[in-house]
Structure 1
Amino acid sequence: MHIKTGLWLLLLVITLLTGCGGKQFTQTIFQKRTPYEAYVQNLETAKLHQTALGKTWMAAGEKALQDSLLVQLPYQETGYFKAEQPTAASVAFRARQGEMLEVLVTTRTKQNIRLFLDLFETASGRPRTATHVAAADTTGLQLRYQAESDQVYLLRLQPELLSNGSYTTTIEAKPSLGFPVSGLDSRAVQSFWGADRDNGSRRHEGVDIFAAKGTPAIASAKGVVSRVAETPRGGKVVWLTDVNNRQNLYYAHLEQQLVQPGQQVNPGDTLGLVGNTGNARSTPPHLHFGIYSFGQGAVDPYPFIYQNTQQPATLKIDEKHLGSWARIAGKNAVLRNSPEGKAETVAKLPKSTAVQVLAGTSSWYKVQLPNGLTGFLHKDNLETLTKPLQTKTVKTDAELTELPSLTAMPIAALKKHTSFTVLGLFEAFQLVELSDGTLGWLPQT
Structure 2
Amino acid sequence: MVLSSQFLPRIGRFFLLPLLLLVACGKQQTLQGLFQKQTPHQAYARLLRQAGLDRRPAGRAWLDAAEQALRDSLVVILPLAETGYFRPERPTASSYRYAVRAGEQIHVSLTLAPGSAARVFIDAFEVVQAQAPRPLASADTLQLEFRYHAKEDGQHLLRVQPELLAAGRYTLRLRREPSLSVFPVLGRSDAAVGSFWGAERDRGARRHEGIDIFAPRGTPVVAAAGGYITRTGITPLGGRVVWLADTEHGAHLYYAHLDRQLVQPGQRVQPGDTLGLVGSTGNAQGTQPHLHFGIYRAGQGAVDPFPAVRRPDVRPDVPQGTDQRGEYVRLRSAGALGRRPGDKPAARAAQLSKQLPLLVLGRQGTALRVETPDGRTGYVSVAAVLPAGSQPLQRLALKTPVELLARPLAAAAALAALPGRTPVAVLGQDREFSLLRGPGGEVGWAVI
**TM-score by structure 2 length?**
0.88
Q: Which moved more, 1:260-269 or 1:426-435?
A: 426-435
Listed as ranges, the gaps of 5+ residues in structure 1 are: none
Matches within 5 A, 1:375-394: 375-384=378-387, 385-391=389-395
Opposite residue 99 of structure 1, the aligned amino acid is: E
Q: Which moved more, 1:130-139 or 1:220-229?
A: 130-139
**Whole-angstrom distance in 2 between the partners of 1:394 and 1:306:** 62
Q: State the shift of 1:332 in Å.
A: 3.6
1:193 to 191, 197, 219: 197
Distance change (3 Å), C-alpha of 1:65 and 1:325: same
2:48 matched to 1:43? yes
**Whole-angstrom distance in 2 between the partners of 1:68 and 1:45:** 28
Q: Note if contact 1:399-1:410 (Cα within 8 Å) is conserved in structure 2.
A: no
2:369 matched to 1:362? no
Distance change (3 Å), C-alpha of 1:108 and 1:441: same
Q: Which moved more, 1:395-404 or 1:352-361?
A: 395-404
Alignment correspondent of 1:409: 412
Q: Note if contact 1:337-1:344 (Cα within 8 Å) is conserved in structure 2.
A: no
Matches within 5 A, 1:121-200: 121-124=126-129, 129-177=132-180, 178-200=182-204
Q: Note if contact 1:432-1:442 (Cα within 8 Å) is conserved in structure 2.
A: no
Opposite residue 148 of structure 2, the aligned amino acid is: Y
Matches within 5 A, 1:344-359: 348-359=351-362
Q: State the shift of 1:303 in Å.
A: 0.6
Alignment correspondent of 1:78: 83
Q: Percent identity?
A: 43
Alignment correspondent of 2:376: 373
Q: State the shift of 1:109 in Å.
A: 5.0
Aligned residue for 1:118, secondary structure, equals strand
Distance change (3 Å), C-alpha of 1:104 and 1:3: closer
Q: State the shift of 1:327 in Å.
A: 1.5
Q: State the shift of 1:207 in Å.
A: 0.6
Aligned residue for 1:212, secondary structure, equals coil
Opposite residue 55 of structure 2, the aligned amino acid is: Q
2:232 to 216, 228, 233: 228
2:293 matched to 1:289? yes
**Whole-angstrom distance in 2 between the partners of 1:108 and 1:160:** 16
Q: RMSD of the TM alignment (CA)? A: 2.9
2:243 matched to 1:239? yes
Listed as ranges, the gaps of 5+ residues in structure 2 are: 1-6
Q: Note if contact 2:91-2:165 (Cα within 8 Å) is conserved in structure 1.
A: yes
2:341 matched to 1:336? no
Aligned residue for 2:127, secondary structure, equals strand
Cα deviation per residue 1:145-180 (whole Å; 9 max; x = unaligned)?
Answer: 101111111111112112222211111110011210
Aligned residue for 2:15, secondary structure, equals helix
**Whole-angstrom distance in 1 between the partners of 2:143 and 2:171:** 11
Aligned residue for 1:39, secondary structure, equals helix
Q: State the shift of 1:124 in Å.
A: 4.7
Opposite residue 331 of structure 1, the aligned amino acid is: S
1:300 to 304, 307, 312: 304
Distance change (3 Å), C-alpha of 1:414 and 1:84: closer
Q: State the shift of 1:432 in Å.
A: 3.3
2:36 matched to 1:54? no
Distance change (3 Å), C-alpha of 1:332 and 1:285: farther
Alignment correspondent of 2:12: 7
Q: Which moved more, 1:424-433 or 1:216-225?
A: 424-433
Q: Which moved more, 1:263-272 or 1:335-344?
A: 335-344
Q: Note if contact 1:228-1:237 (Cα within 8 Å) is conserved in structure 2.
A: yes
Cα deviation per residue 1:237-285 (whole Å; 9 max; x = unaligned)?
Answer: 1000112211100000111111111111110011111111111113211
1:211 to 205, 215, 218: 215
Q: Note if contact 1:60-1:88 (Cα within 8 Å) is conserved in structure 2.
A: yes
Q: State the shift of 1:426 in Å.
A: 3.7
Q: State the shift of 1:15 in Å.
A: 3.7
Alignment correspondent of 1:324: 327
**Whole-angstrom distance in 1 between the partners of 2:282 and 2:98:** 41
Opposite residue 41 of structure 2, the aligned amino acid is: Y
Q: State the shift of 1:82 in Å.
A: 2.9
**Count of residues in Structure 1 that have an aligned counterpart in Structure 2:** 437
Aligned residue for 2:26, secondary structure, equals helix
Q: Which moved more, 1:132-141 or 1:20-29?
A: 20-29
Q: State the shift of 1:144 in Å.
A: 1.3
Q: Note if contact 1:274-1:285 (Cα within 8 Å) is conserved in structure 2.
A: yes
Opposite residue 380 of structure 2, the aligned amino acid is: L
Opposite residue 367 of structure 1, the aligned amino acid is: V
Alignment correspondent of 1:310: 314
Cα deviation per residue 1:270-318 (whole Å; 9 max; x = unaligned)?
Answer: 1111111111113211111000002221111011111134331331242
Q: Note if contact 2:357-2:429 (Cα within 8 Å) is conserved in structure 1.
A: yes
Q: Which moved more, 1:377-386 or 1:286-295?
A: 377-386
**Whole-angstrom distance in 2 between the partners of 1:348 and 1:97:** 39
Opposite residue 145 of structure 1, the aligned amino acid is: Y
**Whole-angstrom distance in 1 between the partners of 2:122 and 2:98:** 15
Q: State the shift of 1:397 in Å.
A: 10
Q: Note if contact 1:106-1:140 (Cα within 8 Å) is conserved in structure 2.
A: no
Aligned residue for 2:370, secondary structure, equals strand
Opposite residue 175 of structure 1, the aligned amino acid is: P
Opposite residue 365 of structure 1, the aligned amino acid is: L
Q: State the shift of 1:428 in Å.
A: 6.2
Opposite residue 340 of structure 1, the aligned amino acid is: G
Distance change (3 Å), C-alpha of 1:380 and 1:202: same
Distance change (3 Å), C-alpha of 1:12 and 1:244: same
Q: Note if contact 1:353-1:426 (Cα within 8 Å) is conserved in structure 2.
A: yes
Cα deviation per residue 1:175-202 (whole Å; 9 max; x = unaligned)?
Answer: 0112100001111111111111111111
Cα deviation per residue 1:51-87 (whole Å; 9 max; x = unaligned)?
Answer: 2211121122112112331111111111121322222
**TM-score by structure 1 length?**
0.89
